């Protein structure tokens, strides 16, 4: 089955404040496509810390489409695929929240977390944040760029395949005894502190 690595960036502490989305499509152990969108959030408010983290400002997205206007373009990439994300509880919560804002029904999507995968495949490392595990695996990327982060996530998954000698995500999950999760609003961990920028929470 096709896998899609997904990464969101947000404008402020609201999970629904999507300002960028990146995808990396994996087929047969190869990244076959990478793409991204700048997105106007429902409220055009960027807190300074979030802009500092990812470099996106209100001016960059004021003329961009909102998420609901892009959904018909985005969803075909996701349909019938496993999603993977690094610290997936963040990205799946963002997806649920932005779907809720526009009253878009949740699609039937299953997902895995590459952070959880990395902890099981390479135990004992000092840290598993995206930049740390990427450094360990010698993956070069521009951190906090949604497309670059999605590609790094995809490469972590492919490294895990190679490390364990498996051919796909189903085999990997079975070998490390990692259950898949489902896109549900109560299937993610809430942000610990609503005053802290989501972008900073995500990347820890």
Measured CA to CA, the distance from residue 69 to residue 66 in angstroms comes to 5
For residues 3-29, b (16+ Cβ closer than 10 Å) or e, as one string?
bbbbbbbbbbbbbbbbbbbbbbbbeee
Average pLDDT of span 102-125: 97
- The pLDDT tens digits for 115-133 are 999 999 999 999 999 999 9
- What residue segments make up the domains of the chain, in order of their start? 2-183
Average pLDDT of span 103-122: 96
User: Residue 202 above 60 pLDDT?
Assistant: no
User: Residue 194 above 80 pLDDT?
Assistant: no
User: Residue 63 above 90 pLDDT?
Assistant: yes
Two tokens at 129? 């944040």
Q: What angle do CA 104, 51, 34 make, to 5 degrees?
A: 55
Q: Which CATH class for the 2-183 domain?
A: alpha beta
């Amino acid at each position: 089955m096709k896998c899609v690595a997904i990464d969101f960036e947000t404008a402020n502490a609201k999970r629904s404040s999507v300002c960028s989305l990146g995808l990396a499509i994996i087929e047969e152990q190869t990244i076959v496509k990478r793409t991204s969108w700048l997105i106007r959030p429902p409220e055009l408010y960027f807190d300074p810390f979030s802009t500092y983290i990812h470099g996106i400002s209100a001016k960059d997205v004021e003329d961009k489409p909102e998420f609901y206007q892009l959904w018909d373009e985005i969803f075909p990439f996701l349909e019938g695929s496993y999603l993977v994300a690094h610290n997936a509880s963040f990205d799946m919560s963002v997806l649920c929240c932005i779907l809720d804002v526009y009253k878009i029904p949740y699609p039937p999507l299953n997902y895995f977390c590459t952070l959880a995968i990395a902890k099981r495949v390479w135990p004992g490392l000092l840290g598993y944040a995206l930049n740390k595990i990427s450094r360990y695996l010698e993956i070069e990327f521009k951190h906090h760029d949604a497309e670059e982060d999605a590609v790094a996530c995809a490469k972590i998954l492919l490294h895990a395949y190679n490390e364990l000698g498996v051919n796909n995500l189903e085999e990997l999950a079975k070998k490390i005894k990692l259950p898949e999760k489902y896109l549900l609003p109560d299937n993610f961990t809430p942000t610990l502190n609503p005053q802290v920028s989501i972008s900073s929470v995500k990347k820890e």
